[in-house]
Structure 1
Amino acid sequence: MKNLYLDISILHPNPASNMNRDDAGSPKTVIYGGVVRSRVSSQSWKRAVREYFNRNKNDKLVGTRTKDAVELISKRMVEIDNSLKKDDAVKKVVEALKKENKHGITKIDKNNKTSALLMLSYKQIDKVAQYILNNGNDLDEKKLKEILMDDNSLDLALFGRMVADDPELNVDAAAQVAHAVSTHEIVPEYDYYSALDDEQPDDAQGAAMLGTIEFNSSTLYRYANVNVNELIYNFGRENAVEGVSEFLKAFILSMPAGKQNTFANKTLPGYVMVTIRKDTPVNLVSAFEDPIKSHGGYMKESIKRLEKEYANTLKFVEKPIANFVLSLEDIKHLDDDLFEDVDGIDSLLDKVTEVLNEAVQDESSND
């Protein structure tokens, strides 16, 4: 099947916030174009996407990343066969999974936890539990691995799985998520706060607690892409296009939750560009290598820069299959032939789904 990629470029304004902190509690930053920018790590936004999936309570969308695989599988075994004692179920799972055993796949410590986080879909947990129950001591390593490579949840299919103890269980990620960076220079700011003890005497002096929180404000450029063919391999041909749509919606609407109770920075993107390509993904962050300078907001100039950069990249790459834009701003495009406006997120998802379905079906008919 020929290459098929989906690029997502988002401009996202944020007021005072500290949604992704470093080890000292400061908002993460990066030096780009010679100046300090606000940064939100890719891991942080992937976590936000998984949390968005999880709010739907849909096991097809989200699995679990945990060291407690033994606990989850043994618990499921007892649910399936209530005559089985929990301790006996745990022993069976350890026997099945422990690397030192003939059919094991991962190291398990004395507390029955895996040595590293293991990503599993809930269907995989169910099937491993049923397989161990059905086969007792007659377990087959190859069959166990087949179960753990099938029925991936969408988050597992998108973001992949690495099993250092057994690379045969690795799943190559179908999506790449860039660190979000501000389109302009930022200046760190500090909120000095105090808290009073409600029960202290009226004539008492001073606060019961003092502190500071570092924050900044920014307009972020966010980027992600999806290798549709890899997603088909990981998630199934019949599910892949729906999976892209679910990821697109979640990536647009999700936000890392750091210090939300303090800053309530629950903003929406101001501009979304979705590009469907056959040659290669393209991150357009280079539009902002020269930081935007403004005293009247950054969004409008960021949109102009982004669209100009998109047009410039066409000197190097093929013209995409489609390029859709959803914007809260009234904008005049550099070239109307390069951008197809949509009037809402539902329309965007419908158009992306339509184009991808057609592309996937065309390639399928040529296989």
Structure 2
Amino acid sequence: MSGPYTLIATAAAGLESLVAKEVKELGFNEVNVENGRVTYQSDALGISRSNLWLRTADRVKLLVGEFEAKTFDELYEQTKALPWESFVPENGAIPVVGKSVKSQLHSVPDCQSIVKKAIVDRMAKKHGLVGKLPENGALYRVEVALLKDRATLTIDTSGEGLHRRGYRIEQNEAPLKETLAAALVELTNWRPNDSFIDPFTGSGTIPIEAALIGQNIAPGFNREFASEEWEIVPQKLWDEALTEAEDVANYDQPLDISGYDIDHRMIEISEKNALEAGLADLINWKQMQVRDLNPATPNGYLIGNPPYGERLGDRKEVEQIYRDLGKIMNQHPSWSVYIITSYKDFEKVYGKQATKKRKLYNGYIRTDYYQYFGKRQK
């Protein structure tokens, strides 16, 4: 089956519109935005391009079918009626995962086993096989997702989640997902010619994602994807997508990006990760505490994921960090400041009401993204 295909780019809560914007920028049409997902039409090349380029999506899934299923018989028969052989070869490995929300079929293990049986029965009949499929080929991870009795059956094209860029060889205890870090940058008006500072850099994720954006480097350039082994996405299409990514990258774009952290070990980790990403010479890393921050140029952007003070013992220390940051950045009114935190009284402690706030989730932690727009100097 050469397409067209229906693809689903999954998104963390609050990032759907950003993922949709990226999908449209890649040239895909018929884009539909729902909670947690962006659906669009694509050809086989689009599977490669989506995985290589989507910075803020979690995964890219291939839609096989959707239908209502209130009984196990309905689930089996309608799954079996789908054209699995058009996507999966007879030796494809087909693990099935699942989830169920507000549906009569609430036993996920039962749903998984029924979907698996339906696929195997269909594939065995189509290929003239008896009993089990060999399943010694490429990986086609199927997901059965039930929501309010509607079943959505997809095949995961990505393999590991898209946040696994391949450059993070070391990290701190609570690392920011690369996809969320990219989103924090994309939600600003930062341009590659503007100065950029992350004063709480941790393992360096935000500055590294900013550098990839600044030089228009595809975030998936440094990793592999499950669909690279698929027959429906031939190697020549991956080669074409990678050649395109190489052609449009702007490696000559100068960048003024700095990452600071109070912990010298984090700076060492950031340097290693930047080296792995091929960005070693593009980012300035320095051990520094917030109270010593002193931006040297006007019209810059500060983006940070500071400690949240979730533990009671850390709260006073965290409040002092917020207070110091507010006092310093108040002296640099041309700078735009963007801070993600779950700390409810951030504006009060920082000393200024945000221009704009956006609700985001850092993993399972509900946070706000506080945005302070600077008044640009001419």
Please tell me the TM-score bracket, short chain as reference. Answer: under 0.3
Tell me the TM-score normalised to structure 1 length. 0.24
Larger Rg computed on CA atoms: 1
Tell me the TM-score normalised to structure 2 length. 0.24
Larger helix percent: 1
